[in-house]
Amino acid sequence: MQNVLVSSGPVSVADVVAVARHGARVDLDPAALEQVQASRARIEALADDVEPHYGISTGFGALATRHIPGDQRTQLQRSLVRSHAAGSGPEVETEVVRATMLLRLSTLMTGRTGVRAQTARAYAGLLNAHLTPVVTEYGSLGCSGDLAPLAHCALAVMGEGFVRDREGNLLDAGDALARHGLEPVVLAEKEGLALINGTDGMLGQLALALDTLDTLFATADLAAALSVEALLGTDAVFADDLQVLRPQLGQRVAAGNVRRALAGSPIVASHKGPECTRVQDAYSLRCSPQVHGAGRDTAAHARAVAERELAAAVDNPVVTLDGRVESNGNFHGAPVAYVLDFLAIAVADLASISERRTDRFLDPARNHGLPAFLAHDAGVDSGLMIAQYTAAGIVSELKRLAVPASVDSIPSSAMQEDHVSMGWAGARKLRKALDGLTRVLAIEVLTATRALDLRAPLLPGPVTSAILRTVRTVVAGPGPDRFLSPEIEAVVALVASGDVLNAARSVTEIN
């Protein structure tokens, strides 16, 4: 894996994924470090000014009116980080923390925050040593930055608090830094503020979500194709000339995936012709590209917002290109918060239509000749009856998670911060929603592949056969009832890892 170069320009979504999810190392651009040093000189000049300057020689938030003498400013920055590292609840995932740290480092390297080069190097050092600060679930309102999560990261750079190493061991941050030859940072003027003022936590989770969705959208198309085939549906509705009549970009991509996945299917061919009396399939089959495509288009909008935010230098105050140090409101998380909520809606609906396809398999009045609940001996065996219950329960939860966080606001900091974005909360619920969608799609894949086996001697097409073979490496075919939970989890792993998608891609192009 190539190293990720952090310069004065933006990192990409792919860079975030490489560092956060796959452990890529980061390198710092020497030219950008020179810009960091240049802006630092401006901060140091203002530190000696008799006039107070916010974040440099004053307190913070509602305490910004107090002038802080020079001999107390190191303590001011240290106290800021310690007091703001006030998170609570379960630990946040390692990949989220690494994404958060990379994005804060990227902003530091713009030269607009006024930190020293050694502070930027400290963040790179922690990432490259795979030392992950312990960050907890609650503490960010998504305004004035993801304050508590970023403060926990800054605390570790100071050699305080706790980190986890590559193997997941919990270590004292100071001991861990020393073990890896890293020096704790003693924060200078403005540095504590610069380390905690940003949308990095919610933005990092958005970037990771977009990467996950790339896999899940394509897998949803394949799950729909499996269901159309096994339920003896028609592939005619997915024809490209029908899609272009409604020029929604995502819809055409989804329909193309379903069409290619069904190409050459003997099962589909078996019920074509005048003897087929069905005029139209149910919406959950026929309209799957419309729903899946709308989700794709939502993600495309979210990606555009993410890419603009990745190019941002979010801090307060900032050092402008002409050397001014100005307060601003760019730390407000509304742009990111809105699309996080929008994605949660799309995810819930994608899972909802998948569950409806699963349910059709289990009802002999709608499954076109398959046994009730796909059971071996219906009545003695329950088959996949309760697998659908599991999917339904998850979908119900996803509908609750689709309620937007960004419409809420709770004033804080003695009414100085009187409108907040709740973007971090939106990011956290989206991560949970993505896990739920993965599970619902896995249950559909599990159900549809069993139904394909039950269509024997008719055979599925080349693409769906490849998926069926992949599923059969972890789950046996139809038979008397077995302990079902491990089988569901095994297929969840296939979906999450991309193995289902890769099986299809071994045969044809899936976008």
Same domain, 224 and 181: no
Range of the domain at 269: 205-505
Instruction: State the residue for tokens 């100005």.
Output: 326
Positions in the chain whose pLDDT score sits under 50: none
DSSP code per residue over 200-268: HHHHHHHHHHHHHHHHHHHHHHHHHHHHHHHTT--SGGG-HHHHTTS--HHHHHHHHHHHHHHTT-HHH
Residue at which a domain ends, from 163, 198, 233 = 198
pLDDT attached to residue 272: 84
Amino acid (1-letter code) at residue 432: K
Same domain, 11 and 144: yes
Same domain, 61 and 149: yes
Rounded alpha-carbon distances, angstroms, from residue 81 to 62, 75, 118, 121, 148: 16, 10, 18, 18, 9
Is 80 a domain residue?
Answer: yes
User: What is the distance of C-alpha 228 from the center of its chain?
Assistant: 29
pLDDT attached to residue 53: 75
Residue at which a domain ends, from 198, 213, 248 = 198
pLDDT attached to residue 417: 81
Q: Looking at residue 157, which CATH number applies to its domain?
A: 1.10.275.10
Catalytic site residues?
54
Is 511 a domain residue?
Answer: no
Q: Looking at residue 440, which CATH number applies to its domain?
A: 1.20.200.10
Tell which residue, 491, 217, 208, has the closest CA to residue 347: 217
Is 23 a domain residue?
Answer: yes
Tell which residue, 445, 446, 439, has the closest CA to residue 396: 439
Model pTM score: 0.95
Instruction: State the residue for tokens 């996803």.
Output: 398
Q: How is residue 5 annotated by DSSP? A: E
Segment 315-330, tens digit of pLDDT: 988 999 888 888 898 8
Query: How many domains in the chain?
Result: 2
Same domain, 465 and 335: yes
Same domain, 151 and 66: yes
CB count within 10 Å of CB 62 equals 12
Same domain, 226 and 319: yes
Same domain, 270 and 185: no
Task: Tell me the CB-side half-sphere exposure of residue 484, using CA atoms within 13 A.
Answer: 20
Three-state DSSP class for 143? coil
Same domain, 212 and 315: yes
Question: How many separate helices (H) and strands (E) can be counted in the chain?
Answer: 20, 9
* Burial group, residue 484, by CB count within 10 angstroms (0-12, 13-18, 19+): middle
How many whole angstroms separate alpha carbon 326 and alpha carbon 87?
Answer: 29
Contact indicator for 305, 199 with CB cutoff of 8 Å: no
pLDDT attached to residue 273: 72
Describe the chain by its helix, strand, coil percentages, rounded to 5: 55, 5, 35
pLDDT attached to residue 65: 67
Is 131 a domain residue?
Answer: yes
Same domain, 31 and 127: yes
Same domain, 286 and 391: yes
Tell which residue, 5, 44, 48, has the closest CA to residue 24: 5
Residue at which a domain ends, from 179, 198, 217 = 198
Same domain, 313 and 445: yes
Cis ω before 317 (30° cut-off from 0) = yes
Same domain, 158 and 209: no
Task: Tell me the CB-side half-sphere exposure of residue 102, using CA atoms within 13 A.
Answer: 38
Is 510 a domain residue?
Answer: no
* Burial group, residue 473, by CB count within 10 angstroms (0-12, 13-18, 19+): exposed
